[in-house]
Structures are given as structure tokens and as C-alpha cells.
Structure 1
Amino acid sequence: MKALICEEPGRLALISRPEPERGAGEVLVRIRHVGICGTDFHIFGGKHPFLEYPRVMGHELSGTVEAAPEDSGLNPGDPVYIVPYLACGDCQACRIGLSNACVNIRVLGVHTDGGMAEMISVPVQNVVPTGNIALRDAAMIEFLAIGAHGVKRGAVSDRDRVLVTGTGPIGMSAVIFAKARGAHVTVMDMRQDRLAFARDRLGADAVLIADAGAEANARRLTGGDWFDVVIDATGAAAPIERGFGFLAHGARYVLLSVVRQNIAFSDPEFHKREATLIASRNAQPDDFAEVVAQMRAGRVPADALNTHRGALADGVALFQDWARPEAGVIKAILDL
């Protein structure tokens, strides 16, 4: 079968390798669509903290069943999406229901080879029927679930003023699900085009340019009260640290981003606000279900989010092109 492999930072290759053998309790899936994530671009750029090369990337996956255990309820040809977090089921985190933060977690395309390949074999519990969701759209469920999980972690409600910093796909997903909960959502970024998209296509209530005047503008926008929830999706240490300055008293700060560096903040300022700092890692089954429900309700503009498409066979050239900021990619999908 064909697979797209990142041999080392900055170098991709389309290779041939044997098809995987289906293990006990596993489902063999023929991949149809692969969403390209910021994680994949970080791997390509050598910036991911949890990875060894070479690696077949790809964790935003949809496809059709080739073979499945008899008692799985899955049949050949069934359209499915894949939950890419392979949890051990036995560790302390798994025992308390945090399989998304499993001590021994292996994420497809990060800790183990992923789905930028024609076939993959994964545990049956990681394979979910798409129902009436189109296969192309199903390849976007995972990244949307990341945002849904962060919004859930922040306990966002219709009483909250929410600031989402960073307008990549994960930040956009946070906007979608914060709006679905009825929150007043402001989005902050340096890119005018992304801010316009968040306002015009995702329903953001206000936008802020992340320039030197952002704090003053945010103070005016909130009447000096700042934000009840700040959700960082920038993927960079400096804006994460800056985000502490936008917290209202009693606010929650949700970090969707993960960076290699330590982050620092003013303890007196954080303490006097009695603020809460929250990590948000991966997603849980109810987050995936929330995405599907919102897709069915028409609250996810899938066509607008999927800005770029191409074939796996052209992946080497396409990936390098899509990695350029001027390419204007929101969500790119490789088709098989």
C-alpha cells in the first residue's frame, strides 16, 4: 500500500509498505480522507515535543471497514471515523475515565504510525460509525472534538464572555462550541482574514487584533471586567503568557495549546483574581458525540472549514505548499 511518511523534519516521501494485518479485537479500515492538523505541520517542522522520526502522520481519519470482529457490529463497507487515541485502559487516568490523558497513551500519527496510508488496523473501540455524516466531513470530527473538549473543560455557559486566542482550526472549533453553548465570544489573532472568517462564518461576536493595543481594546469591550473564560489555541508560549492578562476575577484559563517551553505568569495577579488554570488534552467520547450532534444540527460549516483538498499521491508537494501561511489553509484534507 502507499503511505506518506515524514522521514525527518522538512522531508516527506510517498512510500510503499505492506498492508497491516488485523490483530485480535481490531478493525481493518480503508482510509478515505485524512485531515491535516497543526500537529502534522509541527511534526513536519520538527516542533512536536512527543515524536520520533520517521513517522507516518495522520490522526484525523475517516474510511470504510475492510474487516472487523464478528461481534463488533461493524461490517465491510461501513463508513466510519477513527478516534486516534489508543489508551491502555489500566492506568490511573484510564481508571478514572480520563482515557484522553492515559499515562501510556499512543496517538495515531504521533506516538505510532497514523493514517496517511491506504489502510490501518486499530482497536474496535476506536472505530465509530459515521451515521449520516459524510465521510469527508467525518475526517474533521477529531479536530472539532478538541475544541469541544476545551469548551467543556472551561465549563462555558451562556452567562460567559469568552476570549479565544488563535484562529487556527482548533481555535475555530472552540469558537463553534462556545457559541453553541450561548456564550458571547471574542476572537483574537494577528490575521485579519482569520478574524473575518470567525466573525462572518462562525458567528463570533467581536474580534481583536493581537497588537500592542489589544489589552486596551479588550478592556473597553468588556467594560473593564475582562473575560470569564480565556481559551488559548495559539500554540506559542508568548501569547499563552499574555493571555493571563485578559482574565476576569474568578475566570478560567483553558490551554488547548501545548508548547515545549515553560510558561510564566504573575502569581499575585493570578492569585488576586482567584483564577483557574486548566489543561485540555485530546478529547473524550462525549466530545466526539457533541461534534456529531452539532454537525447534524447544521452548526458546523464544514464546507467553509475545508478550504483545501488533494490526493495522497500528491501529498509531498501539497503538504509543503499548505504549510505556507500565505496558502490560506484552514482545514486541508487528503483524499484516498
Structure 2
Amino acid sequence: MTLQSNRNAVVAIAVVAMLATSGCAGMLNSEASASGGAKLDSVPANAQMVGYVDAAGAVGDDSLRSLANTMLEAQAENSEYYEGPTSVAGMLDEAKNSSGLDPSNVHSVTFFATAEATSSMNAEHSGMVLASAYSEDELVSAMREEGSELSKSSYKETTLYTYGYSDDSALAVLGDGTFALGDVSAVKSVVDVRAGDQDAVGGDLRATYENTRDGYLRFAMDVPQKQVPADRIGAGSPVNTSAFNTVQFVSGSFYTSADEVGLDVSFTSKTESDASRVHDVVKGGISLYSGMVDDELRNALQKLSVSQSGDTVTVSYVNTVSNLETLLETYSERMSGSTSASGSASSSTSTDSSASLAPLVSA
């Protein structure tokens, strides 16, 4: 998928994603940063999307662990096909056994994507900076065990491994457990930035990212107006979503605070007037969706709030861990019941159809 299509998708479905995940947003994120923050000084200046995952903090967060355990237990209890782990500890052990790498040694991931200016296809170039406790040998050995054929070379005195189809992916060893991974051009750009041969990300994108709330997941994306499919956004929707054509940046964060879990998604437009239109569309969408769901989800949607500050509209969702666990259990049971009913109905329909055809066959 190209960066252009990624941007378009974010603008078109960000509000829908907020609504769809409002019942289980807490499975994803948390607030304090235990990994030293995003490695923005390693991200190239031409990045048009940047994000950060505080993996160490998320794994150690009691609220997230409780939510994840609830989800895994409910899945194991209500799905006859699920054979996976029933706890976070089991999930981490399974990941370690299958990869040979201890996932608890991942500290953080800073990810980015950019459109290559020289590419006639406007292809996406993406990469990440991994901060970890892994050695070069551990990571390389694990990748080879997974079947990757790595070719070792160097780039500006930095060890570089290429792999994948036509050696189009790379791993750069940056030292002290830090690695750059992604397509070759993205990885080389990280090396260039760290060597002082290319500028790091800055300007409005960096400012937008730094304006997001501290969390276990933070992101910001530039949305160039000329690439927004103004004629297709919201096509067929009962809500006029053309206001999203004015959105220039989408950003957000996932976090926990005390016994609550929160999600923020912000839309920054060109003017305050444009933002007011976005605000009204979001409020209308939430109201419309609330009238189409059951009481449990409607109550969850009441935790959504929409606010505007100047040219930026922020949609926030905050709920307690206890409420989210109840939602997870309720919908897991409901989905299981729906699946069983569907199977029974299918069987019944098949039997009834055979019976209805019997007189014709005998005739």
C-alpha cells in the first residue's frame, strides 16, 4: 500500500475507527514513557508519518495486562477454534519460543514513512528504529532462523544486512541494541541522519507529533491536500463528510491513567472555520451511530467527547479498566453465540430445503 493510500484511509475512516474501537480501545495502550521517548532525531526530514510505541512500558502496565488477559481468557472460553495462550505471560512465552527472541527485550519502536520524491509511482518508503537489549548476533540469528537470507555489507561505516525480494529490505546495526529496519532507502536515510548527512524530521509534522499526549502509542501524519480524494471521501454516507477534505494533519495517542484507559485522535485543518465543520461532522457521526447500536455500546459511546481548539478537533475516549473488561466479556460471549446460531441456522436451512424438495423428487 502506498503512502498516499495510507493517508487517504486515515482521513476517511479515522472517526469510524474511533467508534469501532470505543468498546475495547484499552487493549492497545498506556501513558507513562519508560523507554526514553521516540527517536525522532534518527527520522529523516522527508518523513510524512511518524509514530512511537513504548513497548516496555505497555508490557509492564497493569491495566493493559489485565485487559489483555481478559480478552485472551474470553476468547479461549467462547471460541471453540481458539487454541492460543490465555494470558499475556503465555503469549510472551509463545513469542519467545517461536522466534528465539525474548519480546521483553524490546524497549521501543519509532516508525516512519515517506513518499520517495524520485519515484514515478509515489511509492511508500517506510522504516523503524528499534531500541532493544538485543545483540547483533541475536537479531541476525533469529532472522536467519525465520528463513531470511541476509547479505552483509557496510554503509558509511555502519554494518548493513540486506534481505527479502531483490534485497529490498535492510537491517542496520546502530549500536547499543539500536537497529534500523525497513526498506533499503529508509534504513540508509536513518544512517544518513545519524551521520549528520541529512536533516532530521522537523517543522509542522514534528510539532504535531510533540503536541500529542504522552502515551504508549503516539503518532502524527501529514495529509497533503492534493492527495485527498475529495470526490470519494464519504461517498454513500448519510453524513456529509466533505469537511475532512480540509484536514492537514491527523495525530493521536493511546494511554492509561490510574484505572482508566484513553484514546485521543486529533484532526488539524487549515483554518478554525474548517475545523468547526469537522467538529460538527464528527458530532453528527457519533450521534447517528449511537442510534444504530445496542444499549451496551451506546453507553460506551457516551464516553466519547469531541472538542475544538483553534484549527484542531480532538475526539477522546476514556473509560475504566473494569468497564472495558465487562465490554470485552459481553461481546466475546455475544460473538460466540452469534457464530453458534449462524451454524445452527445453516444446518436447519439445509435440512428444511431438503424436506421441501422431497415431494418434487418423489414425484
TM-score (norm 2): 0.22
Point out which structure has higher relative CO (alpha carbons under 8 A, 6+ apart): 2
- Bigger Rg, which one: 2
Q: Greater share of helix residues, 1 or 2?
A: 2
